[in-house]
Structure 1
Amino acid sequence: MSETARAPETEPAEGVSLETQILTVTVSLLSGRSVQVPATASTALGEIREEAARLLGVPLASLVHADGSGVDEQQTLADAGLDLGQPLQALVRTTIEVGDLVKVEDGVTPSYGWGQVKAGDVGKVHSIEGRNVSVHFPTHSGWSGKLDEMELVQAKEVRKQPPKSTIDVGCIVKVREGVTPRYGWGDVKPGECGKVVSISGDNVVINTESQSGWSCRLDEIEVVEAVGPEPEGRAGLDVGQPPQALVRTTIEVGDLVKVQDGVTPSYGWGQVKAGDIGKVHSIQGGNVSVHFPGNSGWSGKLDEMELVQAQEAPERSEIVVGCIVKVRDGVTPRYGWGDVKPGECGKVVSVSGDNVVINTESQSGLSRGIRGWSARLEELEVVEAVSPEPEVTVKVALLSGRSVEVSTTASTSLREIRAKAAHLLDVRLSKLVHADGSMFDETQSLADAGIDLREPLQAVVRNCELQVGDMVRVRDDVENPRHGWGSVQRGDHGRVTAINEENATVNFPSQSGWAGNIDELELC
């Protein structure tokens, strides 16, 4: 396709600008099937791909030129300079990703069992860990299976299934038969009916006779008695006046909370003080787990907590590379003290998600070829702040054509950029490479590597050999694991109990729950 070919410059109808004039883009599959997508000159190619996927009923990986070269899907139709007389080619995606609709392959008996799932049931992929997948089916939320036993379900296949009654506020509902609610039963009994009082995303709050304000998931319940649609101009409202917003009072995962004033927590204060504010990590029935700055994973009762509005939360000094920090008084670091002493100050050398690497006088990565001492953001406080570096955007692209933009700074290491990209793409990345396939030195900062930010960094997906249940040990060439040895000794064998992005949790005979980086481990 000629790079100079432009969209036809037809005269718009009188009173219609080129920006809003409706154009027709033909998107064609390699099989010959095609669809016409309405768009404007300012529509991004990525949006055109998504609409074509919806109309065709198939997941599309990317749009390509006739010669197979990729298009920049962030460009608008006008900027891309496409010849609308020729169809855009689209590649069908066959890999399974988070958010896809899937079912167990026909004729396959799942290795981990059916649970409450039946052959032909369709569910949404919740997470992928190595070769394992977690799927939310209507009858079994959080079902676990093997990735190679699943198959993608096209949108058109789902439409053939009988429609499900719409769950709305005011509906009378009950838990579906055979389903165990993810957040627990609380005081609610199987088969008990209740009224929906609020819906937020996939979460529902229900008032039943046994428990008011009980929480569960949308896919765990079914309608017993539906409510009819409200007529236009709702009764009791002056349609000439704007409606007032209602403030949510129920507590959900991710909310900021504190212990209610005057309440002594049933499970004790731990290292938390009255008035401390933390973020809700999980809710199980009437219990809640909260990450407080002084106590990560603190447990309490849901009815002893109260919501804190964002504007009430005190601003925390921003921890960035170059800051001088120390561990907050009374906090025991989750990854252990190592050689660091309480009250000792150190300089932040990297920040990745909630993890921070620090060089202190007692433990530094400068002299021993390691990355320094590791801690969590919420465990630290700033002693001496620095002005944050200006942010830059780095585009990281997979060989499949998928890409993501990572916000970072010039002093960020390429390894951390890879880790952020892996998190955003929800895949494991083994390395960043040049266009010719040669590897970068990922210990270098973005500035030192001399990368042209106008070109995307190429990333290679790692086929992770480790999975939960494997026996592993620390590799012989690792002098000091990033999170420390703890009670583990070189040569010890342990079993992997969890994998989270780049980290693995391993139960060794000498230490249960040891945390290490996947790259530092090998199969026994």
Structure 2
Amino acid sequence: MATAMIRDQDQYGCSICLELMKDPVTIPCGHSYCMSCIRSYWDKDEMKRNTCPQCRQNFKPRPVLNKNTILAEIMETLRNTKIQNTTLAQTYAESGDVECDFCTGDKVRAVKSCLECRASYCETHLQPHFDIPALKRHKLVNPCVLPTCQKHDKLLEVFCKTDQKCICVLCLMDDHKGHDTVSCSEEREEKQVKLEADKSKFEKKFKEKEKELSELQKSIQSHVDAAQKAVMDTEKTFNESVSIIKKRHSEVIERIRAQEKSDLDRLGGFCEKLEMEIDMLRKQGDVLDRILHTEDNIYFLQNFEKILVPPAVEDCQNQSLELVSSFGQVSHTVSHFKEKLEEFCKQEADTILENVPSSSIKASQKSPGQIKIGDRVCVKSTVKIPKFNWGSHVTHKSIGEVKALHGNTLIVSFPGHKNWKGVLSEMELVNDSIKPAQSCSIKVGDRVRVKSSVDTPKHKWGGVTHQSVGVVKSIDGDNMTVDFAEHSEWKGIVPEMEVVSADEVSGSLSANYDFQIGDSVRVKSTVVTPKHQWGGVTHKSVGVVTDIKEGTVTVDFPECKGWKGIVPEMELISVKKGNFSIGDHVRVKGSISSPKRGWGSVSHKSVGVVKALNGDIVTVDFPEHKSWKGISSEMELVDSEYCKFKLGDKVQVKSSVGTPKYNWGSISQKSVGTIKALKLVVDFPEQSDWNGDPSEMELAS
């Protein structure tokens, strides 16, 4: 019934709006319309007032319009049926689906493919294959991309055993004439037998591996359980040991306090008695003073016999000494207890560690690359900045001796920096066979430095350090004169010096002074007049190092380009201002409505690279504006994820992303767009100004 109604649904359409009637009404001539449509029709034109749009019959007076309830129910049924059929029919093809070859506009998903027609059909376009007798004989298969011969545009139906490839019937008469050929189905049957045999082997192997995995998982779980139990037992035992020590600690403290109180109570009486005796002696002393200073001889002689002899004073010195030394032995005993406890704990802990069943740990402890106390080490060349920083005079070329190890932390004694702190992962052993190039016989003109093993030269340092490299000026027996940049005609002795190889010279002069080419420097405040004069430069001037050669440094200052100075006169200044440094990617903060120095061609979306820092002034190279000047407090660092792209790059969403942070919009995994702004804003063909997260994007291949 519903199907018949759908076929004849045109008769239920309003002849005015050409849609299914809404609130249908029937006028006296028998024609039906939407209630709103017929009213609008009559009210719009006086000539057509009260006239039927179809038969032109005129009604006087205007008929009363009442809703046709039966027709309204039919309209509602038609709408529901139409919606259901439309929903069922329009199952649009998604990524990976085979599309109907006959649908126009939005492609509908195909349900079958015809090997004869070499086309795929949706349910609607497939119907002729069920209704037309000639098409009923065609072979239908599940929807797929039908393979065709690129040369003849025919289906691949034949398999050439000679060339081991699928061909069409025309290829059989052309390039493959005389070859051993069979039908594809025949070849498939033959290969399927072999594949099934391989599948059986695969399934057998699969089950074996599954069993191995199950056993391994059980072993792992058992290992984890054993480790967890060992951890719990260890924690419990050590906690109990700590509790015992704390308990004994409390007992000792309580005993000391009790003894202290007893001694104070006992000696409190001595203090009171001494105070009384002191007061009495003071009074008697006053009497003696009066008698001694009187000029009356009779008074002196009469009172002489009356003077009391000072009472015997009990000596409390022994009591004082007893107080001072009473607890000294306790401190000594506690210190001895600590040493014995440490020694015992170390021995027992080593025994416990030896019983830990970890081949990987033991292997690492015995590894030839393991660093231990006394080894010579240096910072790895791959480490840009050590975790605890470089410190003074330490560089990649510095070689020091390990003095202590504490877990992953070690203490190294470098020349010029004792007790340097670092982490094991940043250090590497120095091959003892690789030593600085030196000669037993130092001659005039050689470049030398003080040996790292020399703590203090015989003739003192005089401004020279272990990193200083100078030229030998003269040698007289064991005595030598060296010209250092820090100290001309420095006096030293040959056994304290070593030759510096030519390969080390160029790098050492820059590295040894904590700065290198590209660093920001200024003249030290202690320098009154530089060796090569000021030339417009001041103590406040900040420049960039452009060259370092044999102790001479070339610096580009704003006041003087190519300024020459000597390394000891210069100092490195921090290039860090706030939260960013030279080379960082930055942008204007979103809270800044108008930068102090103006926008120029820059906007909030612009991302640039810090080129220079001078006080609070930052110079940034933006794509829109080179050498833009701003205030560092107005800028913020940009996440490094933004920095891997630039404006104009072609990008797409990574295949590993299920749903982008800001959703798909109109795009898909296959969409390729152009970066419009580094916010990140991308223009895709399907959607302009699409917002994305940089971590979800990749450059399109």
TM-score, normalised with respect to structure 2: 0.23
TM-score normalised by L of structure 1: 0.28
Higher relative contact order (CA 8 A, sep 6+): 1
Structure with larger Rg: 2
Which structure carries more helix by proportion? 2
Whichever structure has more strand as a proportion of its residues is: 1
